[in-house]
């Protein structure tokens, strides 16, 4: 069963209470367009830039959301001319852009391309960058507004931020803005996260620091808020009186690929749970904000993260594993320890699962199970809200499946949408109840394709709109949750192996079995 989104039309309705025709005259469906500005992209030759950032900038231009004078300044060690840089951007756009290629859009966008060659330690390179920004200001009318995207390893942040401050690039001229965008990981524990924030904040105002968590830019993640707070039917049952537990899963069917240098020593929990999954948990569990702005949304997420409690028995409430050789998609694959660049004695986990409690009136007694892993059964990210069984069945218990539970499943990727699972009678003379699903899919209900997460997030930076960006207090609270788990795991030795293509180690299944529950198989 597919539910299609529709809109009511026809006879005029009675004005709703509080209706103000002057306020409503502004059509909120109209897109917001960034004002005059430029972006300096560090790490422009990396995979993230080629596959995500550069295509997203083109897609924004193609949708008419960038100003005509927008300028993109690439910074890298390559000894490129502007023409060579333009060619590299062109190749990235043609290979990875979401929207169709239009010559007129490309020509206008490419007029604003500039390139500065140099290393992060090269003072002359940053002097040339300052001259380039000043020239773009004179030629393109960017009004002094510049965003600096640090698509570089966190170890390079101090050097880059120091150089930007040294040459006056971090301080905005009167009436303009300067912003910095940093990618995760935001440290590898609480102490390093605090140190990183000190470094970045020494150059930029804290309100001008945008931490990118690309999961928060996904349409389906934002739809968690719409599902909960724009629909009266869900809020009365969104609590521990009706909800048995919540499962949040991010599973990947791939291995580490060429990321050995980054991934080994970091692991699944630091890579995914500390940021993506705890943010999904906060959005699922938070109270309704008074208004949808950055401060109100952050305040509610911080309340949830502050209320998270780790169980005392971490051996029973956590699980970790490391994929071994197996089969994936009918193809034999090697184990983690056989991957290129991985030490034979590595204890880095590729699967991590946690059981968390939220000590609030709404959620007391309702556990949240978080899991992530590589080389699992399939690629999927979802939030599954599983309800308690019916307290009384007026028909035979044999008429209904023993493990039948109502559930609301928010699918973040790859098939974005929402599924509601409930029991229905099987056609026939016997009274037999079987689980069925009612499904909403973005692809079925809306004609416009969902924008890539980076499109939304880059535009929000240029607009100065920060609701979807985790702030310092959220990052630190997330590390306070994860650090004790990492310290506990550090004393356990090697993670439990699990076969590639499976759904993780036995310890992950046992973690739920102790509570009389099982993981969903997406």
Residue 240 lies inside a defined structural domain of this protein = yes
Q: Which of 183, 208, 242 is the last residue of a domain?
A: 183
Write out the residue range of the structural domain in which residue 282 sits.
216-452+466-513
Which three-class secondary structure state does DSSP give residue 80?
coil
pLDDT digits (tens, 9 = 90+) for 226-268: 889 989 999 999 999 999 999 999 999 999 987 777 889 899 9
Largest CA distance in the chain: 84
Which three-class secondary structure state does DSSP give residue 314?
helix
- Catalytic residue annotation: 276
Distance separating alpha carbons of residues 44 and 164, to the nearest angstrom = 17
Say whether both 220 and 132 belong to one domain: no
pLDDT digits (tens, 9 = 90+) for 418-435: 999 887 777 876 677 777
Number of domains comprising the chain: 2
Residue 264 lies inside a defined structural domain of this protein = yes
Q: Does residue 15 have a pLDDT over 50?
A: no
348 within 8 A of 360, measured Cβ to Cβ? no
Say whether both 351 and 497 belong to one domain: yes
Say whether both 107 and 240 belong to one domain: no
pLDDT at residue 422 in the model? 82
pLDDT digits (tens, 9 = 90+) for 356-397: 999 999 999 999 999 999 999 999 999 999 999 877 666 555
Residue 336 lies inside a defined structural domain of this protein = yes
pLDDT digits (tens, 9 = 90+) for 307-318: 999 999 999 999
Greater pLDDT, 338 or 424: 338
pTM of the complete model: 0.85
Contacts of 185 (CB under 8 A, 6+ apart): 154, 266, 270, 271, 274, 275
pLDDT digits (tens, 9 = 90+) for 90-140: 999 999 999 999 999 999 999 999 999 999 999 999 999 999 999 999 999
Q: Is the dihedral of CA 342, 347, 351, 356 positive or negative?
A: negative
Q: What is the CATH number of the domain that holds 49?
A: 3.40.50.720
Say whether both 133 and 248 belong to one domain: no
Between the ranges 21-30, 136-145, 204-213, where is the mean pLDDT highest?
A: 136-145
Q: What is the CATH number of the domain that holds 302?
A: 3.30.360.10
Residue 49 lies inside a defined structural domain of this protein = yes
Q: With b meaning 16 or more CB within 10 Å and e meaning fewer, what string describes 256-292?
A: beeebeebbebbbbbbbbbbbbbbbbbbbbbeebeee
Say whether both 174 and 232 belong to one domain: no
Residue 266 lies inside a defined structural domain of this protein = yes
């Amino acid at each position: 069963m597919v539910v299609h989104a529709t809109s009511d039309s026809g006879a005029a309705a009675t004005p709703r209470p509080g209706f103000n025709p002057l306020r409503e005259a502004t059509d909120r469906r109209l897109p917001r367009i960034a004002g005059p500005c430029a972006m300096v992209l560090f790490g422009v030759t990396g995979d993230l830039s080629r596959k995500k950032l550069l295509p997203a900038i083109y897609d924004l231009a193609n949708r008419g959301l960038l100003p005509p004078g927008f300028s993109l300044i690439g910074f890298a060690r390559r000894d490129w001319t502007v023409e060579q840089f333009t060619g590299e951007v062109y190749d990235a756009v043609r290979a990875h852009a979401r929207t169709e290629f239009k010559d007129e859009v490309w020509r206008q966008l490419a007029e604003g391309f500039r390139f500065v060659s140099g290393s992060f330690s090269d003072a002359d390179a940053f002097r040339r960058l300052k001259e380039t920004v000043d020239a773009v200001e004179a030629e393109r009318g960017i009004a002094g507004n510049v965003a600096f995207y640090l698509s570089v390893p966190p170890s390079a942040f101090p050097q880059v931020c120091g150089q930007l401050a040294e040459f006056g690039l971090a301080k905005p001229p009167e009436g303009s803005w300067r912003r910095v965008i940093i990618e995760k990981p935001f440290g590898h524990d609480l102490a390093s996260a605090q140190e990183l924030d000190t470094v970045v904040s020494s150059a930029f105002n804290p309100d001008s620091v945008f931490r990118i968590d690309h999961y928060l830019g996904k349409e389906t993640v934002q739809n968690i808020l719409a599902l909960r707070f724009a629909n009266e039917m869900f809020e009365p049952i969104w609590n521990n009186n009706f909800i048995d537990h919540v499962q949040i899963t991010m599973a990947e069917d791939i291995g580490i690929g060429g990321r050995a240098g980054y991934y080994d020593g970091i692991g699944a929990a630091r890579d995914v749970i500390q940021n993506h999954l705890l943010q999904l948990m906060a959005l699922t569990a938070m109270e309704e904000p008074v208004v949808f702005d950055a401060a109100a949304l952050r305040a509610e997420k911080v309340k949830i993260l502050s209320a998270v409690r780790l169980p005392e028995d971490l051996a029973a409430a956590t699980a970790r594993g490391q994929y071994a050789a197996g089969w994936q998609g009918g193809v034999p694959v090697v184990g983690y320890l056989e991957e290129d660049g991985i030490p034979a004695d590595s204890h880095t986990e590729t699967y991590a699962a946690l059981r968390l409690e939220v000590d609030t009136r709404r959620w007391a007694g309702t556990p949240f199970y978080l899991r992530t892993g590589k080389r699992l059964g399939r690629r999927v990210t979802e939030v599954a809200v599983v309800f308690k069984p019916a307290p009384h069945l007026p028909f035979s218990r044999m008429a209904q499946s023993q493990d039948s539970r109502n559930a609301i499943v928010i699918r973040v990727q790859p098939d974005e949408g929402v599924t509601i699972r409930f029991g229905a009678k099987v056609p026939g003379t016997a009274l037999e109840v079987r689980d069925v699903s009612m499904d909403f899919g973005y692809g079925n209900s809306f004609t416009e394709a969902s924008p890539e997460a980076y499109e939304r997030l880059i535009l929000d930076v240029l607009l100065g709109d920060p609701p979807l960006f985790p702030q310092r207090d959220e990052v630190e609270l997330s590390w306070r949750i994860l650090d004790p788990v990492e310290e506990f795991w550090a004393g356990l030795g090697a993670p439990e192996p699990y076969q590639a293509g499976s759904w993780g180690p036995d310890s992950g299944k046992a973690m739920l079995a102790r509570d009389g529950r099982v993981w969903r198989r997406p």
